[in-house]
Amino acid sequence: MNNFLPIAYFENQFVPFADAKISIATHALHYGTGALGGLRGIPDPENSDRILLFRLDRHCQRLSSSARFLHYDIPADKIQQIIIDFVKKNRPETSFYIRPFVYTAGLGIAPRLHNIEKDFFVYGLDLGEYSSPEGVNCRISSWYRQEDRSFPLRGKISAAYITSSLAKTEAVESGFDEAILMNSQGKVCEASGMNIFVVRNGEIITPGFDQDILEGITRDSVMTLAKDLGIKTIERPVDKSELFIADEVFLSGTAAKITPVKRIENYQLPENRPVTEKLRQKLIAITENRDPNYQDWVYPISLEE
C-alpha cells in the first residue's frame, strides 16, 4: 500500500492529494503523451528542520527538456520552485520520492501535440528501498528497447514505459526480480527502469547514449564518481555474453539508487563486489550530505518558518 504525501500540486495550486483528479477523457491517459520525472529526498540526518533533495536542478532540467517533445514550454526554474514549495507544504518525515509530471490535459480524442492544453502536476510518496540492497536476479527480456528513430528516447516519455512494464512483469512472473532489455541491434541496453553497468578487470563498462538508453541522472552521478575515484569507465556497446562472465554487474536509477545484480539467467555472478560497493557507499554518503566534495549535488530545503 503506497503512503502518499498529503498535498499535491495540481492545476496551478496545492490541493489535498485525494482531490487531485483528472477526467477519464484526459488525452495523455489514452495516448501516453506525458513526460515524467522522479527524484528522491530525505530528512537531513543532521538537522530535523531540513530536507535534502538529490540533484534537483538536473531533474528539473531533464523534465523541462522532455516537455519540449510534447510542445510544452515549462522552464526548469519554474518546476524547481514548485517542487521546493511542495516539499515545504508536505514536510515529509521519512525517505520519499517525488513524481513531477507534464501531460496533454485536454479532452480531445485525436492523437496530436498541437492545439491541445498541457498541464503539470506533482505528487509524492514515502519510499524506502525500491530494490533489494542485497542484489537482484535478472533475466534477458524477450522485449526490446525502442529506437530513437521512432521514439524520442532523450525524453522520459510516459508511453515508453509500456515496454518496461511488459519486461518487468515477464521477469517477475518467470521467477526473477528484474529484466535486462536489449536494443534493436542486439546489444545490452538497460533494465526496466534503470541503467546498467558491467565491471570487468577493475574497469566499468556501460552502454553509451548511442545504444538507445535513457540519459540517467544517477548514471551520470556514477560515472562522475568512478572518474573521481580513479576507476576507468568505458562507454561502448555491450554484448549479452559479457554479462555472464562479468566480475560485477549493477543497476542505477533514482528509485533503485545502486543495486547489485546477483544472477543473470542461470549465470551466478561473484558475491564479492568491491567496485559496486565502493560506489554505493559513496552515493549514500553524498545523498546524506556527508561528503563536502559533492555538496552541490544536494539541495537543502529549510522547513523553518
Domains of the chain listed by start with CATH number = 7-126 (3.30.470.10), 136-287 (3.20.10.10)
Average pLDDT (198-226) is 97
**Quick one: which H or E segment has residue 14?**
strand 13-16
Q: What is the pLDDT of residue 171?
A: 98
**Spatial separation of the C-alpha atoms in residues 148 and 240, rounded to whole Å:** 21
Banded model confidence at residue 305, pLDDT cuts 50, 70, 90: low
Looking at residue 6, the DSSP 8-state letter turns out to be: S
Which pTM does this prediction carry? 0.95
* pLDDT of 216 over the 80 cut: yes
Place of cell 573521481: 228
Q: Which own/partner contact pairs does 58-65 have at CB distance under 8 Å and 24+ positions apart? A: 58/217, 58/220, 59/100, 59/217, 59/254, 60/100, 62/37, 62/156, 62/215, 62/217, 63/35, 63/36, 63/37, 63/100, 63/102, 63/156, 65/154, 65/155
Q: What is the pLDDT of residue 255?
A: 82
DSSP3 helix / strand / coil % (the chain, rounded to 5): 30, 30, 40
For residue range 221-253, list pLDDT tens digits in order.
Answer: 999 999 999 999 999 999 999 999 999 999 999
Question: In the numeric block, which cell numbers belong to residue 297?
Answer: 549535488
Percent of the chain with pLDDT over 90: 94
Place of cell 528539473: 60
Q: Cα 156–136–95 angle (5° rounding)?
A: 60
